[in-house]
Amino acid sequence: MKTLEGKVAVVTGGSSGIGLATAQRFVEEGAHVVITGRREKELKEAASLIKRNVTTVVGDVSRLDDLDRLYAVVKEKHGHIDILFANAGAGTIAPLAVATEAHFDQTFDVNVKGVFFTVQKALPLFKDGGSIILTSSVSNVLGVPGFSAYAASKAAVRNFARAWTLELKDRKIRVNAMSPGPIDTPALATTTGLTAEQAQQAAAQFTTQIPMGRRGMPEEIAAAVAFLASDQSSYVTGVDLAVDGGMAQV
């Protein structure tokens, strides 16, 4: 049985990695998806992989006018939203001693301000309850050297889920955070600011810290997000679902 039949879902950061795998899964489960990301070419490529029931809107989640454009398209095409996956995020390595103000601001602009207004501006389009899932990170509970700004921004995201669960309960909107461990996506190799060799070393180091002994796949995150999006999780709200091979437990 398809769990998201006829639902309208918005996925930010939908052009690659976790967002793309989740948009694909949502469509397999019967949803219509609207994906957004910053680069038109990547978005179009993602849409051709998803194949059907997909709309693309180019935009940066840290820009409020881009979010207005995104939701104007959603409103015109579907009239409402059932599921919002606020997933776009940025995380480059920047040890405390050398991190710049620009790095700090960019991390919080995308991960904190971006998620905040992605959700705020979607609210008028939720008509009959719904599910909001926020991508946090296992780093919201771990010390990860070199990623303190990123980890702090993801802890903020986790806390949004707590507060918004209470703020939105009367509208029957559930809000959950979902915290991936190291997942095999382009971000792990390219956007962390590491060379390929450093990324390999970091990945090997991470792997020793994962009880299950391997990195996760985007499809494994997508399955967890599809659960949180669907009525199968109808009594789950305000949690932080770790999808991390047990990493947060050690």
Query: Is 1 or 102 the residue whose CB approaches ligand NAD more closely?
Result: 102
Rule CB under 6 A: choose which of 18, 27, 151, 241 binds ligand NAD. Answer: 18
Which residues are marked as active site?
A: 150
Q: Are 226 and 82 in contact (CB under 8 A)?
A: no
Told to check if 24 binds ligand NAD by CB under 6 A, we report no
DSSP H/E element including 226: helix 218-229
Told to check if 115 binds ligand NAD by CB under 6 A, we report no
Told to check if 8 binds ligand NAD by CB under 6 A, we report no
Q: Are 156 and 111 in contact (CB under 8 A)?
A: yes
Indicate if the alpha-carbon torsion angle 183, 186, 188, 191 is positive or negative: negative
Strand partners, 32: 8
Told to check if 88 binds ligand NAD by CB under 6 A, we report yes
Q: From CA 2, how far away is CA 25, in angstroms rounded?
A: 10
- Window of 89-97, 120-128, 141-149, 168-176 that interacts with ligand NAD by CB under 6 A: 89-97
Q: Are 226 and 162 in contact (CB under 8 A)?
A: no
Tokens representing 132 are: 């909001």
Rule CB under 6 A: choose which of 95, 124, 186, 193 binds ligand NAD. Answer: 186
Told to check if 17 binds ligand NAD by CB under 6 A, we report yes
Told to check if 141 binds ligand NAD by CB under 6 A, we report no
Show contacts with ligand NAD in window 189-208 (CB under 6 A).
191
Query: Is 12 or 56 the residue whose CB approaches ligand NAD more closely?
Result: 12
Comparing C-alpha atoms, which of 56, 50, 55, 110 is closest to residue 86? 110
Query: Is 8 or 242 the residue whose CB approaches ligand NAD more closely?
Result: 242
DSSP H/E element including 205: helix 196-208
Rule CB under 6 A: choose which of 62, 92, 107, 131 binds ligand NAD. Answer: 62
Tokens representing 250 are: 């050690």
Q: Walk across the sheet containing 8-12 and list its strands.
A: 54-58, 32-37, 8-12, 81-86, 126-135, 173-180, 240-243
> Taking the complex as a whole, how short is the minimal distance between the CB of residue 1 and ligand NAD, in angstroms?
28
Q: Are 245 and 45 in contact (CB under 8 A)?
A: no
Told to check if 188 binds ligand NAD by CB under 6 A, we report yes
Told to check if 130 binds ligand NAD by CB under 6 A, we report no
What size, in residues, is the chain? 250
> Taking the complex as a whole, how short is the minimal distance between the CB of residue 39 and ligand NAD, in angstroms?
6
- Window of 1-9, 60-68, 72-80, 159-167 that interacts with ligand NAD by CB under 6 A: 60-68
Comparing C-alpha atoms, which of 178, 194, 147, 175 is closest to residue 244? 178
Told to check if 135 binds ligand NAD by CB under 6 A, we report yes
Give contact residues for ligand NAD (rule: CB under 6 A). 12-13, 15-19, 37-38, 60-62, 87-91, 110, 114, 135, 137, 180, 182-183, 185-188, 191
